[in-house]
Amino acid sequence: MTDRVAEAAPADRGDLKSATYEFFMLAMAILSIVNLPLLVIYSYESQPWYLVLFIEASLTLVFLIDFVYRLKTAPSKSGYFFKQRGFLDLLSCVPTLRIFRIFRIVRAVRITRHLGGPRVFRELRQELASGVLYLVIFVGITVLEVCGLLELRFEEYAPGANITTAGDALWWGYVTATTVGYGDQFPVTTGGRLTGLIMLTVGVALFATFSGFLANLFLSPRKPKATETTPEVAELRALLDQQEETSRLLRAKLEALEQPS
């Protein structure tokens, strides 16, 4: 019986990858959905519109890589593409069909709820290092977009300004966040300089965190492969996951019975 449980345990994840990866993709999908009304609010072919479009292009590349990764690692490629609706992942990579990225949000939430909170939080604790890396990437893209839009808001039409296009704003934001500071682009307004303070502060924190991640990755001692996962550990984890799922179903049934008719 335990052998069957151990074999069936990964199957209830659907096409769910690691918990940190799924939360990262969930956050990227939400950011992309938020950008949809921005492309309508900003005037067509205005500099803020172009900036959001550039960010959307980078997100589209991320989603395309995600689709290829899921397809390549799926136990059944046809099962992922049709049964698990992977074709919607592919459609969401088309720039004019970005609305299909809502499906990514719904799927991640549904599978995460199916696994149960305790199991998800346990995986998040086990994958803390990779979670920090994903967080740095997501926050970096978000701050680059927000600060870029603010910078264009203050600088685009200011006298003597040199940050007047979407490309200028993104280049200035990246150079500032990395603390390289070439000095070819710089804000001349009070609002632009305050935005620069935000970008510089967040950028230093992000790159310090990223440097710490790399240091931990290369300097931390590696565990012998023989002791990383044993059949006994896998079996116990499978039994624990089954117990948590049974407890969750029993609690839901109890709550349904206790509700007044």
Q: Give me the pLDDT at residue 222, please.
A: 59
- Tens of pLDDT along the chain (261 residues) come to 434 433 333 444 555 677 888 889 889 999 999 999 999 999 999 999 999 999 999 999 999 999 999 899 888 888 888 888 888 889 988 888 888 888 888 877 877 777 677 777 787 778 777 788 888 999 999 999 999 999 999 999 999 999 999 999 999 999 998 888 788 889 999 999 999 999 999 988 888 887 777 777 676 665 554 445 566 776 777 778 778 778 878 887 877 777 776
Is residue 261 a part of any domain in this protein?
no
Q: Give me the pLDDT at residue 2, please.
A: 38
For residues 204 and 85, state if they share a domain: no
Q: How many domains does the chain have?
A: 2
Is residue 149 a part of any domain in this protein?
yes
Q: Give me the pLDDT at residue 229, please.
A: 55
Check which CATH number belongs to the domain holding 145 and give it.
1.10.287.70
For residues 132 and 115, state if they share a domain: no
Is residue 226 a part of any domain in this protein?
no
Check which CATH number belongs to the domain holding 9 and give it.
1.20.120
Domain that holds residue 65: 1-126
Q: Give me the pLDDT at residue 111, please.
A: 72
What DSSP string runs through the chain? -HHHHHHHGGGGGTT---HHHHHHHHHHHHHHHHHHHHHHHSPTT-HHHHHHHHHHHHHHHHHHHHHHHHHHH-S-HHIIIIIT-HHHHHHHTSGGGGGGGHHHHHHHHHHHHHH-HHHHHHHHHHTHHHHHHHHHHHHHHHHHHHHHHHHHHHHTTSTT-S--SHHHHHHHHHHHHTT---SSS---SHHHHHHHHHHHHHHHHHHHHHHHHHHHHHHSPPPPHHHH--HHHHHHHHHHHHHHHHHHHHHHHHHHHHS--
